[in-house]
Amino acid sequence: MATSNKTFFLFSSRALTTTPIRSDVFKIGKRIRNENYYKKLDNVEPSYELIYRAPFEYLIPMCRHVPSFLLISVSCGFAYQFITGSQIFDENAEFMTGPIVASSGEMMGFTVAFYISNLILIYGVTKYPLRIYKFKNRYIAMFEGFLPLSPRPYHFRKGDLFSTPSILPWYESIFKMKDRTVLVFAHHFKKPIYFTDMFRK
């Protein structure tokens, strides 16, 4: 019985931990290699320190570029229809998608909804900094660019980040960075002090 309790205690001690999920990033050797890689990718000066990496950063490019490609394709289709005077969807045609049969009008509605949802997704990605660098009182936030592997830098200074009211469920992670709203997760900073230090004037 004692052995069983001891085994359960050891298992519980390993399961209940406050170590971040991505703690390997902050191991000395691997952290330095990661920082050097991202500094070259983001074209950031060596004097800057990488202090923040967003969760799901590898999925953000897909969430930006795939919808952009789809929107461009749909827009080209509508442009072709407008220029040539042809119709993409025949008024009398019916479309079958699995068990669902849709008319041309319904398909047009689905297309418009698809278009709007992709625009919303792209807009959300523009508020999502992938990485943040720091040098003294200056910061650089890297956002996903329009083209793959071309992140866009956004410069701000200490004290330019502040809380902003929001009705969204993740309001605790929504902040104002100078003149733009961003989504930043406090527990993904290298150290908690790096997060709180950005608020100080």
| pLDDT number for residue 1 | 47
The answer to whether residue 107 is domain-embedded is yes
The overall average pLDDT reported for the chain is 76
Cβ-Cβ contacts under 8 Å for 119 (sequence gap 6 or more): 67, 71
Evaluate whether 143 touches 57 at the Cβ level (below 8 Å): no
Higher model confidence: residue 2 or residue 162?
A: 162
| pLDDT number for residue 145 | 78
Rounded to whole angstroms, how far apart are CA atoms 184 and 128?
Answer: 7
| pLDDT number for residue 185 | 92
The answer to whether residue 46 is domain-embedded is yes
Task: Indicate the pLDDT class of residue 194, thresholds 50, 70 and 90.
Answer: very high
In this structure, the answer to whether residues 89 and 105 fall within a common structural domain is yes
In this structure, the answer to whether residues 71 and 168 fall within a common structural domain is no
Tell me the average pLDDT across 50-74.
81
The answer to whether residue 71 is domain-embedded is yes
Domain count, the chain: 2
Q: How far is CA 15 from CA 11, 22, 47, in A?
A: 6, 15, 38
Share of the chain above pLDDT 90, in %: 28
Kindly write down the DSSP assignment for every residue of 8-65, as one continuous string.
Answer: HHHHHHHHS--S-TTGGGGSHHHHHHHHHHHHHHHT--TTSEEEEE-TTTTTHHHHHH
- Domain hosting 147: range is 22-54+130-197
- Check the CA dihedral 184-186-191-194 and report its sign: positive
Domain end (from 109, 125, 141): 125
The answer to whether residue 11 is domain-embedded is no
In this structure, the answer to whether residues 110 and 70 fall within a common structural domain is yes
Q: In this predicted model, what pLDDT tens digit does every residue of 88-145 receive, in sequence order?
A: 555 555 554 555 555 666 667 777 888 888 888 888 888 899 999 999 999 999 998 7
| pLDDT number for residue 50 | 94
